Every structure is written in structure tokens, then in C-alpha cells.
Amino acid sequence: MSTWLLAIEGTETGAQLALVLAVLAAILHALFGTLQKGRHDPWISRGAIDICYAVIAAPFALFVVPWPEPQMWAIFAIAWVIHTIYKVLQATAYTFGAFTVVYPVVRGSGPFFTVIGAYFVFGEVLTAVQIGGVAMLVAGIFGLAWYNLIHIKIDRDTLVLAMIFALFTGIFVALYTTFDAYGIRATFNPFTFLAWFFLIDGIAIPAYAAVRLWRMETRPTFAPLFARGLMGAFIAYFSFGSILMATRLDKVGEAAVLRETSVVFAALFGWLILNEKVGPRRLTLMALIALGAVVMEMGG
């Protein structure tokens, strides 16, 4: 598969596959966020997910994929720092605010900064039509967040703080998207980057989650927590793997913007799984998000 993926880089086939992978990443990322915000404490959920995907990735990293090139170790170290800060910010935002408020702010600010980063790092330039599509998508996302901020009744005393942490999380989304795209292009075999990334990335949060779990007076039942961690691990593989492969096959900025249609799916999952209501105004804003993504893609 690696040989085939390398062969279609920069081709029309590669661009079409990148589109499919970016949309798949959007759906799975929304589901991943729902899992972290759901039944358990966000820190505990994230710790369970991380330890599961690190353990599963270990044999692939050590015995299956080619060994990383020497320059990759510095890239892995920087990626680990960026992702750890991102996860701390995200878990804090979820602690303070409702999922359907926090998630749109995180994902809305992400593509704006990613497009800027892709311009400076990879020299990618969007057309005027694509910029209009990005503006529509970001406007819809922030409109959805603003509407939620006004109307959602839960966590009212901490919502502003949640929005601040969500905005900084979005900045780190852009940072890790751009840097990880650089990282997966720096190694010959993309699966080498993915396997080692998941192994190294799963180190930090589980240690803190274990301490937090130990200090709890009422600890969650192990089996459901483990099931959530295992499910989240596989979702993370396909979600993160899909978007990273999309950034290798085609433009980083376009893939990042398409992924942020995850807000539409997040609202759907928030309604179906977390019982957070979705009304006609929010549906209109979600339609604007989807339309912005379509305009951005067709304008390329």
C-alpha cells in the first residue's frame, strides 16, 4: 500500500483520495470528541484512549514499519510537545464547557490558522473562491458557537472560560496540523510516521489520568472505561491517519478545512449521544459550514 500511495502523490487520483480521507477524518474526529466529552471525566477518557493506542501501535512501530530516519526523532519530539499541549487545552475546555459550544470554536479557529501556516510552510495559495468558502465555513462555525453560547443552559458560569481555552486549542490544532503534515512528508514511508507518532504520543496523558483516577472518591467502572479507550484508539488511528495521509497526497490547507466539517457531525453526535438539542437555526448554520466546504473544494 505504501508504494501505491507514494505513486499517486500529486496526481488527480491522489487529490480525489485526499478528499475522501479528509471527509472521513471529519466524521471520525467528531465521534472521537464525543467519546472524550461523554460519560467519563475528559482527562480519564483521554488517558484511556492514549494508552490503548500507544500499546496497539508499539508492535507495528518496533517490528513492522521501516525504522525512522535519523532526522525524524527531533520531529517526533516536537510533535509530542505540540500534541501534549493541545490535549491539555482541549480536556480543560471540555471540563469547563458543553461539547457543542467548545467543539465549534476549536474547529472554527483551526482551519483559519492552518491555511496561514500552509502558506508560509508549504507555499500553498488558495483561490479567491476558496478563500470565500473558508470564510463561509468559519463564519458558520463561529455562528454556531455563538448561538450555543447564548442558548445553552448548562455550565453557564464557566462557558466564557471554556471558550477561551477552546480558542487556544484551535490555535494548536492549526499548529499540529501544519507540523504533522511536514513530519509525514519528511519520512519516506508515511506509515513509519503514523506508527511511531501513536507510540510516542500516548505517553504523557495516561500518567496524569492515572493520578487523577487514583484521587477520585468514586472511580469509574473499569470495563466501560477500557471499552471507550479501545474504541477511541481505533477511531484515532483512522481519523488522524486519514487527515495526515490527505495532507501528504494533496494540499494541507484544503484537507484541514474539509476536516472541519466535523462540526456538522459533532452536532449530530451531540444530539444523538449526549442529548444536546439541535434546532432550525443551528441546522442553518451547519448548512453554511457544509456549503463553505463545498465552495472551497470546488474553487480549487
> pLDDT for 109-138, tens place per residue?
777 778 888 888 888 887 888 888 888 878
Q: Is 300 a residue whose pLDDT tops 70?
A: no
How far apart CA 121 and CA 19 sit, in angstroms, is 21
Q: Is 281 a residue whose pLDDT tops 60?
A: yes
The model's confidence at residue 196, banded by pLDDT at 50, 70 and 90, is very high
Cell matching residue 148: 450555543
The model's confidence at residue 250, banded by pLDDT at 50, 70 and 90, is confident
The model's confidence at residue 277, banded by pLDDT at 50, 70 and 90, is low
Residue 299, H or E segment: none
Among residues 251, 230, 225, 178, which one has the least CA distance to residue 18?
A: 251
The model's confidence at residue 264, banded by pLDDT at 50, 70 and 90, is confident
The model's confidence at residue 35, banded by pLDDT at 50, 70 and 90, is low
Q: What pLDDT was estimated at residue 39?
A: 61
Q: What pLDDT was estimated at residue 161?
A: 86
Query: What is the helix, strand, coil percentage profile of the chain, to 5?
Result: 85, 0, 15
Q: Is 58 a residue whose pLDDT tops 90?
A: yes
Sign of the CA dihedral running 144, 149, 152, 154? positive
Q: Is 100 a residue whose pLDDT tops 80?
A: no
Q: Name the residue with higher pLDDT: 39 or 144.
A: 144
189 with 69: CB under 8 angstroms?
Answer: no
Best-predicted range by mean pLDDT (96-100, 104-108, 155-159, 229-233): 229-233
- Please state the φ and ψ torsions of residue 285, each to the nearest 5 degrees: -65, -40
Q: What pLDDT was estimated at residue 70?
A: 95
Q: What pLDDT was estimated at residue 22?
A: 87
Sign of the CA dihedral running 211, 37, 102, 193? positive
Q: What pLDDT was estimated at residue 166?
A: 87
- Please state the φ and ψ torsions of residue 203, each to the nearest 5 degrees: -90, -50
How far apart CA 37 and CA 56 sit, in angstroms, is 23
Contacts of 167 (CB under 8 A, 6+ apart): 105, 106, 109
Share of the chain above pLDDT 90, in %: 22
Q: Is 38 a residue whose pLDDT tops 60?
A: no
Averaged confidence pLDDT in the chain: 83
Lowest-confidence region among 158-167, 217-226, 268-277: 268-277
Mean pLDDT value across residues 191-206: 92
267 with 144: CB under 8 angstroms?
Answer: yes
Q: Name the residue with higher pLDDT: 53 or 102.
A: 53
Q: Name the residue with higher pLDDT: 300 or 94.
A: 94
Report the first-to-last Cα separation within the chain, whole angstroms. Answer: 27
How far apart CA 35 and CA 209 sit, in angstroms, is 16
Q: State pLDDT tens for residues 160-171.
A: 788 889 889 988
Among residues 173, 158, 164, 131, which one has the least CA distance to residue 263?
A: 173
